[in-house]
Structure 1
Amino acid sequence: MIERFYLKEYLGFKNVEIAPKSGLVVFTGPSGSGKSILMKSILSSLGADSCEASLCESSVTWDINNDDLGIENEDVNTFKYIKKEKARYFINNQSISKKVISQLTSKHLRHLSLKDFSDFENENLLLILDSRIQKKSHDIFTLKQEYKDTFFEYKKIKTQLEILEKEEKKIEELKEFASYEISKIEEINPQISEDEELIRIKKELSKKEKILEKISLANSIFENEHLVSSAIDALEVDSSFFDDSMNELRAMFESAEARFNALEDVNIEDVLNRIEEISGLKKRHGSVEEAIAYKEQKIVELEKYENIEITKDKLIEEELLLNKKVKGLASTLSKFRTKELKVFTQDLNSYLKELYLRDAQVILQDTELTEHGKDEILIQLNNTKLQKISTGEFNRLRLAILVLKSKFMRGNGGILMLDEIDANLSGEESMSVAKVLRQLSKHFQIFVISHQPQLTSMGEQHFLIYKDEDESKVLELNDKQRVDEIARIISGEGISKEARSFAKELLEANK
């Protein structure tokens, strides 16, 4: 609920602060005093509208999902709308986009001024119907969950089968392509790190002759090795260092000659061709490792294509079993719903009678299987589709649906905001709307603008919007002031004794 609302500088309003209570909160006042403007500013603070106010601020008791929004939840969360050069929105002083704030508040706030069909969506109507069934000791929610799990498993298998059947149409082409790709890589048969070894061989072949020639010339050093050893001995110096160096040099030359001689039978053209083949694979696949991985992937795909008939047969069998089960569960759900629909319709029409509307026609018809079953609920009023009934009729029908839904609410349903829902209604019709709203106020905080004494007298909190020297002001009324205001609504500015007496009667009767 909204615990506090503050408005600064919006048209006739300068500074307004109110502390709404739970239940039915009524706003009244002469025409042009600013009632709709105040309502618009409250909606603006919550991202459900926009206005030119300097500041609109609401303190609410909603729990905010801080994981989604990155906002730390507080006992009371403050929503702000500030308009300077541009509109900006804040939650607990953290800037946030209008889109995000609207998504958040839409879970808690309903503005019943336009034809919003969300209350008549099939999912919502089925939930009301199923909640009634559940209350009568039929564990339909467990049945619904079993149906839902089966339905999604059925959809999963059906999707897999559809993909398989699409692949089957081009299976020969896919098999041919996979075989071709495998054979191309197998013909080359690349080995990991082979390309690096080939580059090394290429480099050694290119410098083989020059290196062997230089080694041949350098071998002459060994012809005079004994002379050097004799000279060192004559100097009476240990010659082991020289012997070790010469042996190391001799081994180095011999190793190089052996390595190059091993390349004697290697054809440089073959090496270059092999390098070119490996390079082509790398260019296409990125690396030798990736080419080998690609080949393995195609081998797996080929096996899959070759076993597609076996897989398809299994999926068809599984789909048939799930299809039978999901249809059976859907039929069971439908039987419960069909049985309850008659009582649901009677209860709905009893509220419509209170609201001075003719009976609604409620139809349960088969539709394509969804996660909610095979049932679709359609509601018409006076055999007229909802899109074609008047806004007044639509809103009263919507109130009746909300009452049916509220019977199964455990906690607070959020906030309902209604702008002159009793406009152009007779006194009896207005009182019927007021009684329905009072019942709804057990589960919703309701803000309503009214020009009728019946609805006004039913309010649990009453704010008067009035003009004082062209400035719009808001005053919470006490019981005596409420009598005066309701009397004004009845008889106009010149309040009569009869109007005051009737106002007292209404208030006493509705306490």
Structure 2
Amino acid sequence: MLRELRLNNLAIIKNLDLEFNEKFIAMTGETGAGKSIILNGISLLIGERSHTDMIRNGAQSLFAEGVFELNENQKKRLNELGFEIEDDELIITRYFDRNAKSKITVNGSRMTLSRLKELMVNIIDLVGQHEHQFLLNSDYHLHLLDRFLDDEGKMLFKKIRENVNKIKKLNLQIRNIEEEKSKIAEKKDILEFQLNEINNLELKENEDNELEEEYKILFNAGKISEKLEETSQFLKEGEFSILTALGRAKRNLEQLSDLSESYSEIYEKIESVLYEVEEISYSVDNFVGDVEIDDGKLEKIVERIDDINRLKLKYGSTITKILEFRDKIEKDLSLVNFENEELENLKNEKSELVSQYFQDSEKLGEIRAKIAENLQNTIDVQLDDLNMENAKFKVEITKTQEITAHGTDNAEFMIATNVGETFKPLAKIASGGEISRIMLALKTVFSVVDNISVLIFDEIDTGISGETVRRVAEKLRELSRNTQIICVTHSPQIAGKAQQQFFIKKEIENNFTETKVYELNTEERIREIARIISGDNITEASINHAKEIMGLWDKKVLV
């Protein structure tokens, strides 16, 4: 509910500071006193756009602030929407100046205009003659209908929404695979050529390194053979070879080894070295035998290395990367050449979800149809209470084959205001008086479930009088049991049923016109309602009539 409202420099309002009670509040005053300006100020707090023409003459900036008290259901709903509201109240501020600087805060934190609007649509509804009419928006009608869903209906709705999200994800996956498949199909010939080019070489891991080593040996075969043979000669051929020298040294030290342990140790070391050199000599001899001078084989190795290097330039800097590229080509071509198992699985999963979606939507539609029938009867009773006994309300449910988060149903509220007339959408009703009463009937029913804590009616008495306005006043009083009602009115019957009343008037100070607002006590209320009845010429009869309307027969008021 709206607890406090502060406005500074809004049109002809210089400073305004109001505190509201719960339940039913009336705002009265002479035509042009500024009642609509106050509603404009509230509109700023619910996310309506601002413009510099709203700033009071002579002022540089405008400021609006509202303090709203939240119930637990509203806090829960706002947290679900991601607003993270922990306090029991919202403090909304709007500021803007003639230099187009603006600022919106909610409980001290900055907020965008669109986000503010999303927030406040869950708290307050300003019902005017042809704007801010929440219930005239057919996009919202199905949502309102669903507020009456039982546990089974809520479960189906949740299941449908979850399945639709899954279907959307599957559609994205399927589309991505099919797009990839299409792209691959366009370059199939190129991919097949690349695959054949790689496969024809029959590459092996590390083959290039092995070929390079083999190439070096073959290319240097002559030099290698010469050096190995020379080494062999150094080791074992001739009187001065290493093996000959080591053999002589061994024999000499062998003869001395019995004389001293030190000689014996040296002898053992020389013997060990001799064995190692002999092993080296054998190895060198083997290498000499293995060296092959084969120009034909060298040429083939060079060709093989060139072929591999050519593929490296095209498909990867190593054989490993070339083979990885080949594997990717094979996988891509499988999308075109063979039925893709992943794609088929996704399509089958989607088909099952779509089938389940339509089954659940049909069940939910049956529940909605029953709710619609009950709602029609309930609204008809409300319309009868508001002196529209010939009016009939209808919830028109149509089906769609589209997959949506709310199922296959669309709903629109329709009305026939007179006997024999066809049903028309609520938004097409021309009579202001009829719109006012239909809105009030709908608000009375939906206020129980829509969690709106503030309803503001802008001259709901327009176009009605007599018995009809009396019934409207009673209905507003009834509605205020669950929702705070703020009503701008020219009707004494409506003002008389309110529990708090403000009087709005224009005053001139220092050659400037200002709107002033005064909260009225009981005696002041009687006189104000009497003024509405008889004008400035307040009589005893109008005073008595005012007391009768307010139910204050024993209240003495001076004429």
TM-score (norm 2): 0.68
**Cα deviation code 1:233-283 (max 9, x no counterpart):** 9xxx99999x999x99x999x99x999999847532332223333543459
Deviation at 1:177, TM superposition (A): 7.9
Q: Which residue of 1 aligns with 2:391?
A: 359
Q: Distance in 1 between matches of 2:518 and 2:377?
A: 42
- Residues 188, 278 of structure 1: 8 Å contact kept: no
In our comparison, the structure showing a higher alpha carbon Rg is 2
Q: Which residue of 2 aligns with 1:329?
A: 363
Deviation at 1:71, TM superposition (A): 6.1
Q: Distance in 1 between matches of 2:227 and 2:552?
A: 125
> Aligned to 1:90, which of 105, 113, 121?
105
> Aligned to 1:277, which of 308, 311, 318?
311
Q: Distance in 2 between matches of 1:44 and 1:315?
A: 46
Amino acid at match of 2:532: I
- Residues 147, 373 of structure 1: 8 Å contact kept: no
Q: Distance in 2 between matches of 1:42 and 1:211?
A: 96
Paired residues in the alignment total 490
> Aligned to 2:476, which of 422, 434, 437?
437
Deviation at 1:81, TM superposition (A): 0.5
Q: Which moved more, 1:48-57 or 1:294-303?
A: 294-303
- Residues 115, 395 of structure 1: 8 Å contact kept: no
- Residues 46, 121 of structure 2: 8 Å contact kept: no
Deviation at 1:102, TM superposition (A): 1.5
Q: For the structure 1 residues 323 and 198, does the alpha-carbon distance in structure 2 shift closer, same or farther, using more than 3 Å as the test?
A: same
Q: Distance in 2 between matches of 1:149 and 1:399?
A: 34
Structure 1 spans left out of the alignment, 5+ residues: 135-139
3-state SS of 2:551 partner = helix
Q: Distance in 2 between matches of 1:493 and 1:223?
A: 140
- Residues 59, 76 of structure 1: 8 Å contact kept: yes
Amino acid at match of 2:376: T
Q: Which residue of 1 aligns with 2:378?
A: 347
TM-score (norm 1): 0.73
3-state SS of 2:400 partner = strand
Deviation at 1:457, TM superposition (A): 1.5
- Residues 125, 132 of structure 2: 8 Å contact kept: no
3-state SS of 1:442 partner = coil
Q: Distance in 2 between matches of 1:89 and 1:36?
A: 22
> Aligned to 1:145, which of 148, 155, 180?
155
**Cα deviation code 1:132-157 (max 9, x no counterpart):** 6x7xxxxx541563476369759978
Structure 2 spans left out of the alignment, 5+ residues: 56-60, 250-265
Q: Which residue of 2 aligns with 1:503?
A: 546
CA RMSD of aligned residues (A): 5.4
Q: Which residue of 2 aligns with 1:368?
A: 400
- Residues 311, 322 of structure 2: 8 Å contact kept: no
- Residues 221, 293 of structure 2: 8 Å contact kept: no
Q: Distance in 2 between matches of 1:505 and 1:261?
A: 130
What are the residue-to-residue correspondences of 1:224-373 with 2, within 5 Å?
264=298, 266-282=300-316, 288-289=323-324, 291-296=326-331, 298-299=333-334, 303-305=338-340, 322=356, 325-326=359-360, 329=363, 332-333=366-367, 336-337=370-371, 341=373, 344-357=375-388, 358-362=390-394, 364-368=396-400, 371-372=406-407
- Residues 26, 488 of structure 2: 8 Å contact kept: yes
What are the residue-to-residue correspondences of 1:102-501 with 2, within 5 Å?
102-113=117-128, 114-115=130-131, 118-119=134-135, 125=141, 140-143=150-153, 145-146=155-156, 149=159, 181=191, 184-185=194-195, 188-189=198-199, 197=206, 264=298, 266-282=300-316, 288-289=323-324, 291-296=326-331, 298-299=333-334, 303-305=338-340, 322=356, 325-326=359-360, 329=363, 332-333=366-367, 336-337=370-371, 341=373, 344-357=375-388, 358-362=390-394, 364-368=396-400, 371-372=406-407, 374=409, 376-382=411-417, 383=422, 384-390=424-430, 392=432, 393-408=434-449, 412-468=451-507, 469=509, 470-501=513-544
Q: Distance in 1 between matches of 2:438 and 2:168?
A: 40
Q: For the structure 1 residues 287 and 83, does the alpha-carbon distance in structure 2 shift closer, same or farther, using more than 3 Å as the test?
A: farther
Q: Distance in 2 between matches of 1:422 and 1:109?
A: 20
Deviation at 1:92, TM superposition (A): 2.2
Q: Distance in 2 between matches of 1:192 and 1:431?
A: 97
Q: Distance in 2 between matches of 1:300 and 1:57?
A: 62
Deviation at 1:209, TM superposition (A): 8.1
Amino acid at match of 1:54: L
- Residues 79, 90 of structure 1: 8 Å contact kept: yes
Deviation at 1:202, TM superposition (A): 8.1
- Residues 61, 77 of structure 1: 8 Å contact kept: yes
**Cα deviation code 1:107-147 (max 9, x no counterpart):** 22222123556525667555666776x7xxxxx54156347
Amino acid at match of 1:439: E
Q: Distance in 2 between matches of 1:177 and 1:472?
A: 76
Q: Distance in 2 between matches of 1:507 and 1:71?
A: 43
Q: What percentage of residue pairs aligned between the two structures are identical? A: 21
Q: For the structure 1 residues 294 and 431, does the alpha-carbon distance in structure 2 shift closer, same or farther, using more than 3 Å as the test?
A: farther
- Residues 413, 426 of structure 2: 8 Å contact kept: no
